[in-house]
Amino acid sequence: MGVPTKKAFPLRLDPALFAAIERVATAEFRSANSEIEVLLREALARRGIKVGVSQAPKRGRPPKEAGSN
């Protein structure tokens, strides 16, 4: 099979909190979604929880099998 896709779920945030996240994300040249992921990873690391980074899905066509034309 392939690499799992990211987990999507609804997230309800205080509008002021989301506005702050958007400001930080813009300053860091990230999307709000990416910034939330960074903040969550940092918070978990401070608690001693290491979270690995999943492999990104491969893009493009799969390589041709040997012997096929």
Query: So what's the pLDDT on residue 34?
Result: 93
Over residues 2-22, the pLDDT tens digits come to 556 788 889 999 999 999 999
Amino acid at 24: V
Distance CA 29, CA 27 (A): 6
Output DSSP code: residue 39. H
Query: So what's the pLDDT on residue 38?
Result: 94
Average pLDDT, the chain: 86
Q: How far is CA 24 from CA 17, 46, 52, in A?
A: 11, 19, 23
